Amino acid sequence: MCSVPAAGERPEKRNALSSALRAEMAHAFGELAADDSVSVVVLTGAGSVFCAGLDLSEFDQSGDVVSHFTDDDNPVVFHTALGTFDKPIVGAINGPALAGGFDVACQCDVRMAADTAVFGHPEIKFGAPTMFTQLSYIVGGGIARDLALTGRKIDAAEALRIGLVSSVVPAAEIREAATACARQIAEAPLAALQVVKRAINTRAPLQFP
DSSP codes of every residue in 56-74: GGGS-TTS--GGGGGSSS-
Q: Where are the domains of the chain?
A: 2-202
CB 6 within 8 A of CB 45: yes
pTM of the model: 0.87
pLDDT digits (tens, 9 = 90+) for 130-188: 889 999 999 999 999 999 999 999 999 999 999 999 999 999 999 999 999 999 999 99
Q: Rounded distance, CA 188 to CA 190, Å?
A: 6
Active-site residue 158, yes or no?
no
Rg (CA), the chain: 16
Q: Which of 9, 58, 123, 176 is catalytic?
A: 123
Candidates 3.30.70.250, 3.30.70.270, 3.50.50.60, 3.90.226.10; CATH matching 2-202: 3.90.226.10
Judged by DSSP in three states, 175 sits in: helix
pLDDT digits (tens, 9 = 90+) for 8-37: 555 567 788 888 888 899 999 999 999 999
